[in-house]
Structure 1
């Protein structure tokens, strides 16, 4: 029965993300980057991403060796759709242990509500609507670990949680939280050992492994973890306030638990969300604070496992009043989920624009078809994942050469690729704000003009705001 939910959700997620790719709504940052890494793994190479930087090993950006698990599938089906379908399957699988545990303690009807609320939750929807990310592996692992914790099967919970160390560097902290829960509710020594493993594992990834793989020799995202104030002591003292200000942080914290009608906060399982919420709210990166992107996906299994756990005593009581309390809680959770659906990407499946191919999309397809397989291409962010399966792609215009992610200060390196695919039409849908990226439109137009005037490129074709340039056989050396 619960596998039926997984199948239905898989079809929903795969359809939404697949249509986004077909309509040129995905991006080089991040789908293109991840496809380059998986493509490299599939050919038994290090996970180097030309989009991220010349020779940049993605293990120096985030520590996610789990991506190698997709290599055999990608070798058979070399396409960005392979990553999107795999992500859809992993996110959908997480519903099975959540619904199964809800059925055990709350009954089958309640379990259907939990499956519905998880499957259409905004945290999962946000991940589906923004390309592909390694966190999709963590979602079913956390879901299975939480089911085992709720059943007091400590070793099974740990077995599901330990692989989190291979998914992303911060998830060692989630493993530590699971270990702390085991130490509190189960065998203390085992729990302490697991907590220590999580902390040490994350520390090694932050301090040793990622700097080793990074071209700069440092952790690429260290600036996001910088103290928010002049001294470490002040930063620690004000951390509780900084976690809820500005207002967007408080809104996100409420919305994380809103799909469970805030009832999940009654369960100690909710504490397993603290590490992820903590680093996000204390980060200096504003993208970490809000509801867009993929950052909340790993929290959704925690929220719904905690909801089931919080309602367990009331369901066990059996009195009419407590039964009504359980029903009211579940109805509220379903209602909140329904209310939030239109604001997040899963609603796109009902939009007419999702099923209509525009003139712009047709122009993109026609122009990119002219680029031969194996070529090197400098492409706009939205065009990159249309090319990464068959060419070597860098970003156009790209970032200055200094390995600082999203840092645009300094001169833009001149393009050296054989082709330039430039899209001047702003993105049309979630999650990016209106406008071009990574530079404002005037700056991008300037770099495009320079490519024609000084860098030895000729215009091959142009249609509906998309331009295709090719490097001339004898490029100009004018400076």
Structure 2
């Protein structure tokens, strides 16, 4: 017989919570894009990939190289699900709205599980704390990424696992194999947890499929599409292994996983939103593969809190929090203390991450240069080859073959070059101002003519 909570369904409060979070996510990400602060890497890459799917082709991205297959970079065929929407609304905004919806949906299984185990108030508090957590905010504020699909799948899978619906946990976990190649190891861990909790056959099959598909993607599928014939995202880990130095390998796989201090800081930031209670749940093991590849990487941007890498960590850790509280069954007063602590950490960290932009006046002010930029971009015809500044690429990638100006993988000798020369030094990438000016001068020497030069936007065209 079902409980009263189960009979009343999800409940309008949880629906409203998810809807409010969706609106917040959408406003933040769309406003960042409208202000031309979204990036070539990664919104431009995914825009070009989904555009390919929408036109019935295998995904390619000019940003990774001329007609470079995206499946040779990461194994993320789940992006094809966005193609019908992109066909109707062929803009980068379509991806941002889809991401907002996917992440907002991930709140619902966690909140529903919390309501069944802890009550309505706890469900809304935990759901809001998760939805406003810094890891979610960082993902929403940094372009679009395929891991947006992972958040709801993990939430449904772990909620089912925590409630002993073991086969449902497996079925929700398996689609993660289509999201990104590294998530196969998370599926493997989920499978092992399913086996440990009683359904050995389902668990071991899930674990084997997860590990097998992950290895197949890394060793066979991605190299088959990659022009180099290899998997290029070992992030420097392969160089340590190939060095043959046992001390270096031991250091990299032990002390190197927690140094420099940025890694330890990220780990503390991940644990703080759950008051470190997540450590008491076996569900936290699902996050171990993600932490391992991030902290074993030689790339500093994989270690920190700035980008999208902690989205799945937040989903896993909040699921672990719910399981711990459900098992401990604290008194009403004890539960209130936990909930106050969880909300306090979320609110304390909120101003340091992108969702705080919603209350910043600068977010809602329009820059006169944006209108100028759009006027200049309209001079570029559809399907032309373009090299552009990083913040301009996502504005062009839906209708041109856009790559990054001054980047080593960009298509040489494009028909058009568009550069924003007024980008502040702290946002300028990949070239300094002097390097950019030298590159523009070199382009003019090669025969490019100036079509527009206004408010810092320089548009060059190569005749013929």
Q: Same fold (TM over 0.5)?
A: yes
Contact 1:314-1:326 within 8 A present in 2 as well: no
Distance of 2:111 and 2:238 partners within structure 1: 40
Q: 1:444 aligns with which of 426, 436, 440?
A: 436
Tell me what 2:447 maps to.
456
SS at match of 1:168: coil
Contact 2:181-2:218 within 8 A present in 1 as well: yes
Tell me what 2:420 maps to.
423
Q: Which runs of 4+ in 1 moved over 6 A?
A: none
SS at match of 1:26: coil
Tell me what 1:162 maps to.
174
What is the correspondence of 1:25-424 to structure 2 with a 5 Å cutoff? 25-226=37-238, 228=240, 230-231=243-244, 233-234=246-247, 237-238=250-251, 239-315=253-329, 322-399=331-408, 415-424=412-421
Per-residue deviation at 1:353? 1.3
SS at match of 1:51: helix
Distance of 1:135 and 1:13 partners within structure 2: 15
Structure 1 gaps of 5+ residues are 402-412, 428-432, 474-479
TM-score with structure 1 setting the length: 0.91
Distance of 2:136 and 2:427 partners within structure 1: 25
Tell me what 2:9 maps to.
none
Contact 2:384-2:416 within 8 A present in 1 as well: yes
Distance of 1:109 and 1:143 partners within structure 2: 19
Distance of 1:224 and 1:168 partners within structure 2: 19
Distance of 1:383 and 1:83 partners within structure 2: 17
Deviations 1:105-155 (A, max 9, x none): 111111111111111011111111111000000000000001100111111
Distance of 1:220 and 1:447 partners within structure 2: 28
Deviations 1:227-279 (A, max 9, x none): 54754754564323222110000000010111111111111111111111111
RMSD: 1.6
Deviations 1:418-464 (A, max 9, x none): 2111112336xxxxx914212222222211111112x2111111122
Normalized per residue, the structure richer in helix is 2
Residues 310 and 231 (structure 1 numbering): CA distance in 2 closer, same or farther, change over 3 Å? Answer: farther
Aligned residues: 450
Tell me what 1:405 maps to.
none
Distance of 1:324 and 1:439 partners within structure 2: 56
Tell me what 1:407 maps to.
none
Residues 424 and 186 (structure 1 numbering): CA distance in 2 closer, same or farther, change over 3 Å? Answer: farther
Distance of 1:54 and 1:313 partners within structure 2: 54
Deviations 1:277-336 (A, max 9, x none): 111111111111000111011111111111111111332x6xxxx332222111111000
SS at match of 2:63: coil
Per-residue deviation at 1:52? 1.2
Distance of 1:224 and 1:17 partners within structure 2: 31
SS at match of 1:218: coil
Structure 2 gaps of 5+ residues are 1-11
Deviations 1:144-181 (A, max 9, x none): 00110011111100000001110000000100110111
Contact 1:226-1:284 within 8 A present in 2 as well: no
TM-score with structure 2 setting the length: 0.94
Once the two structures are overlaid, the 10-residue window that deviates more, 198-207 or 462-471, is 462-471
